[in-house]
Amino acid sequence: MGRKRTIDRNQTMNAIEAVVREHGVAGLSIDAVAREAGISKSSVVYDFENKSALLAAFIGQKMTEKRAKIDTAALDYKDDPDAFLHALLDVFGGCRSDEDMACAMSISASVASDDRCRALMNARFAEDMDLVMNQTADPRRARLVWATLHGLASLEYFGLFTFPETERNQLLQDIRTLLTSDLPTK
């Protein structure tokens, strides 16, 4: 019979997030998470064998939280064949704090250096693209909107470029217009 769990996993996940927000991915370690959570190192190792597992758990949780927001927003578009894309635009277009951007940048950076994290992100993007393509009446347009929105997100999350708020809002509105317009056939 295995050891009974005595540490709340949510407590550990909150500690992982706190460490990443305060010290970035580079500061994430079994020791740092144990200190932040106020638990023993062995308790953290019990759930997460190494830094890669900590990071993957953190990214998995963030992706699940974001997906829940998108799914909730999609309810507003339940009769639209592009409900997921409309919801994605709503969620992405919402207010972003400096903390949120720093967290997103940490996640983005980890994808480049960790195979487990990259696999998680690849799987989620493939799942999202399948959902988009299976819902839409116009796959060509939906694919273009999805790729455009993720291009904008990548610029921001990697800290490469941020449009001024007014221009960003106009760009998001233009992407939404693209979502609802027919593309030329040529």
pLDDT at 86 over 90: yes
Cβ-in-10-Å burial (0-12, 13-18, 19+) of 58 comes to buried
Candidate CATH numbers 1.10.10.60, 1.10.20.10, 3.90.660.10, 1.10.3720.10; the one for domain 1-49: 1.10.10.60
Q: Would you list the domain boundaries of the chain?
A: 1-49, 59-180
* pLDDT recorded at residue 52: 86
pLDDT tens digits, one per residue of 23-60: 888 888 999 999 999 998 998 888 888 888 888 888 88
Q: Which long-range contacts (CB under 8 A, 24 or more apart) does 140-147 make?
A: 140/183, 141/178, 141/179, 141/181, 141/182, 141/183, 142/82, 142/85, 142/179, 144/178, 144/183, 145/82, 145/85, 145/175, 145/178, 145/179, 146/85, 146/88
The pTM score is 0.83
Tokens found for residue 154:
């990548």
pLDDT at 104 over 90: no
Tokens found for residue 185:
């056939």
* E strand map for the chain: none
Which amino acid type is present at position 18?
A
